Every structure is written in C-alpha cells, then in structure tokens.
Amino acid sequence: MEALNNLMYGFGIALEPMNIAYVFFGVFAGTIIGMLPGLGPISALALMIPITFAMEPSSGLILMAGVYYGAIFGGSTSSILLNAPGVAGTVATSFDGYPMAKQGMAGKALAIAAYASFIGGTISIVFLMLVAPLLSKVAVSFGPAEYFALMVLGLTAVVSLSDKSLVKGLIAAVVGVMISIMGIDLQTGTERFTFGSAHLLDGIDFLVVALGIFALAEVFVMLLRGGGGKEQPRNAIGSLRLTRGEVKEIAGPIGRSSVLGFFTGVLPGAGATIGSFLGYSMEKRLAKDGDTFGKGNIKGVAAPESANNAACTGSFVPLLTLGVPGSGTTAVLLGALLVMGVTPGPMMLEQRPDVFWGVIASMYIGNIFLLVLNLPLIPLIARILDLPRPLLLSLILIFCMIGVYGMSFSVFDLLLLLGFGLLGLGMRLFGFPAAPLILALILGNIMEESMRRALQISGGDWMIFVEKPISLVLLVIALLSLALPLARKALQRALA
C-alpha cells in the first residue's frame, strides 16, 4: 500500500507538464543518439549534462533516465537495420534481428524490439519499486567502512566483467581514481597534483573526462576507420504487424528475460550487455527450435531486447539506494546528479522523495512514449541513419565543445577535453576499457573520503575493514571477482 501511495506521489511529479515534456525529449533524443552507430548511452548522457545542470534535480534525472533507456532502445534499430549496434547492449539483438531484416522482416523485428523493450522496461520498474526501498533500509546501517568496501566491489566487478584484459581494466580504474583526487583535498585544504595551475585547484570536471574519453574519442575512432562518406546499405522496413501466434511465441521469452535482465542490472558490473546475452542464451537453450537462433528467430530478438531494457532499469537500484553506480553509464548519471546538487544514497528516499519516486513514475510514462513514439515513427526515425557521416562527426564535435564550455566557461577545459579525447583514442587502440576509468573517476573521491573516515573512527586501525561483517563479505567478493577470471584463465592454459 505504501509503495502505491509513493508511486502516486511520484506520478504527481512525473505528470507535471514540463516533466512530461522532458521524458518525451529524453526518450526521443536517446533513441536518436542510441541509433547512431558508435554513440552509446554514456556519450548520450554526457552530451545531455549541460542541458540538465540548471534544472530541478527531479526533472534532470527524469530527462536523463529517458535518454538512457531511449538510447538502449535506439541501439536496437541500427542493430536490426544495419547490423551495426549503436549500443553494446543491443549486440545480441543483431544476431537474429539483422537476419530477419535481410529476409524482409525488419518491421516485424523492430516491432518485437519495441514491444519487448516496453514490457521488459515496465516489469522491471515494478521490481525497482519493490526492491529499492528495501535495499535503502538495509543501506542506512552502512558506515564508511562498508561504503569503501562496496565501492571497491563496484570497481572490481566492472573491471572483471569487461571483455578486455583484467590488468588493463585495473590500470584504467587506478588512472580514473588518480584523476578524481586532483585538486584541493577537502579534508585538509592541501593541494594535490595541480602542477601549480589555478585551473586544476577544483580538480578536473567529470564532464570533460566523460565527453573526451567517450564522445570525442569515438569521433577519432570513426575518423581512423574511414570516417568519410561510406554509407551502409539499409534494409527496407516492411510490415510492423505481428500475428497472434507470434505474440504467443514471444510472450514467454519476454517475461523470463525481463526478470533475468532486471536482476543482472542490479549487480555491480553487469548491465544491459551482459543481461541481453544471458537472456539470449537462456532462450536459445530453452527453445525447441534453438538451432534456428542466429538465422532470424523472433525469440532471438524478443529475449535480448526485454533483458537489456530491464537491466537498464535494474541498474538504477544500486545508484538510487546506495549511491554507488554499478556501471559506466550509471556513473555518468551519478555525476550528473552530483552536478545538480543531489547525492543519491539510502537517505535519498527520505530527503529527496521527489527525485526518487518522480523518476520511477516517469519510467512508466517513458516506456509508453517509447512504444507509441517508436512504433508508428520507426520508418521515419530510421532515416536519421542516412545522415551523412561527415556532418554527424562535426555535429558531435560541436556538441562536445558547447557542452564543456557551457559548463565551465574555460578555454583550458576545452584543451583538456582534447587531451582526454586523445587519451580515449589511445585506450581504444591498445585495448584499455573506458568504463572502469569513468566509474573510478566518479567513485575515487568518495572512496578516499570513506576510507579516511573509517580510519578516523578506528583511530588508524586498518582492521576496521575486515572486522565489520558486511565490509568483509564485500571485500571478499571483490577479491573473488578478480581472482576467479584469473584462475579460470590459468586452468584453461593448464588444460590446453
């Protein structure tokens, strides 16, 4: 009953005309940006921060959340039509979506993606509504030691679940923490790593790093890969209609993958990508016609699409209840919230119920928008894929520039943006994952603060981190998350 009352309160906020407009804009912009190959939800969110920083926090988060799940949905369109996923979370969709498009059933695949995303998103919001307040109650008892351990776990999980080298992931995370602690130490007023520059006294703005490492680096990568006007052939859309038999066939996979996707999203480090792959492989195993997966099976589109949208909603659980993002994307969301003056965490439910329940209620509205906007407008929206690539690259550059300058009014930050863009390019070329860096950048400061507060409480005794049971368990899981992939690799090598 309490959850329903809270939800009604949330709807009171989400249904304010301006907030409805923000959801609509967020979902629309997210769909378009997510559709463009290469630009994922992190870039989409980073590009939106300058727009939201002057907004009411509830409105800002409503818009950003819309961009996030809109981008996940938009990614499926380019996966299906071009076999070029705009977002990593929709790679699994292309396995069957693209073969369907080649068989002249692109419209059907897009419609299944829209329905599956809608249902996956909606089911997971119900779970979010039920799970988040419970977790908040548990998290209220967390002290600095537990928080430190939780953040260590968040970082190691993201590193260990990345498909790239574990060592390189850890290096990216350490560099992210190093960047985050630049500037004046707020506890002692001491300058650290400012190189005597007044520009660095406040540290480096996270937006500069996020836009540089993701959006600008993506432009550089596209330029290296040809960048010019090579247009990809796009498949015709065809009919969007589904038969009753097809609806029956996809109902089970959508339901199962939605639940699986949500809980995958809640776990730190996992997210839309892993959720969608798990959903896909689960349905492939369960299906009687599993051998037709990869050749245009409609369940192969329904499962990853419901799972990735559900995982996207699930990732809001640790963000809103613990204040600890579990992925690069939610790290950018946390950064945006901090810019707006809101610190998510267990107290947010009591201190900022407007933000908490407003964003949850807005997700219901956003998912409806996704469906009604995308189904009839898919053929029209898909034309954005025809935008000449050179024009697109220049527009991304301009958005990055205005994003940074509009926040800091600093030419120095524009040059820093360029530096981070080149660093991001280097990271891509040499196989360093970017998500751990951005997550560490957001968590680094809070991590150090939690560690120092815990040690102040214990009088400098490091045993505080292992004496507290929750902290100990979290640290052991963090250690295992790093050790298990290494052990598996060693075992594979020994067996080979």
Partner 1 sequence: MTRLNSNQILALLLALVALGYLAMAWQIPAFPLPRPIDSDLFPKVLGFTLLGLSLLLFLERPQAQDAPPAPDPEEQARPLLLRPWSRVVVTALAIAAYALLLVPVGFVLASTLLGVGLTAYYGYRRHGVNLAAILGVVLALYLTMTRVMDVYLPTGVLPF
Q: Which residues bind partner 1 (CB under 8 A)?
A: 51, 54, 164-165, 167-168, 170-171, 174-175, 177-178, 181, 185, 187-188, 190, 192-193, 219-220, 223-229, 388-391, 393-395, 397-399, 401-402, 405-406, 409, 411, 414-415, 417-418, 421-422, 425, 429-431, 448, 451-452, 455-456, 458-460
Number of Cβ atoms within 10 Å of the Cβ of 462: 11
For residue 398, the SS3 value is helix
Between 17 and 245, CB nearer to partner 1 = 17
Largest CA distance in the chain: 69
Smaller CB distance to partner 1: residue 168 or 234? 168
Q: What's the Cα-to-Cα distance from 267 to each of 1, 64, 325, 440, 458, rounded to whole Å? A: 27, 21, 10, 17, 30
Closest contact distance (angstroms) between CB of 404 and partner 1 is 9
Residue 418 C-beta: closest distance to partner 1, Å: 5
Complete DSSP assignment for 89-109: GGHHHHHHHHHHHHTT-HHHH
First to last CA, the chain: 58
CB of 181 to partner 1, least distance (A): 7
Q: How far is the CB of 374 from partner 1 (least distance, A)?
A: 24
Nearest to partner 1 of 372, 429 (CB atom): 429
CB of 90 to partner 1, least distance (A): 20
CA distance 250 to 289: 13
Q: Looking at beta carbons only, is 258 or 450 nearer to partner 1?
A: 450
DSSP structure class, residue 233: P
Closest to 148 in 3D by CA, of 380, 462, 424, 418:
462
Instruction: Report CA dihedral (296, 298, 300, 306) to the nearest 10 degrees.
Output: 150
- Closer to partner 1 at the Cβ: 220 or 357? 220
**Smallest separation (angstroms) from partner 1 to the CB of 192:** 6
Output 47 or 254, the one with its CB closest to partner 1: 47
Q: Least distance in Å: CB of 16 to partner 1?
A: 18
Cβ closest to partner 1, residue 289 vs residue 461? 461
Rounded to whole angstroms, the Cα distance separating 293 from 65 reads: 32
Whole-number Å distance between alpha carbons of 15 and 345? 25
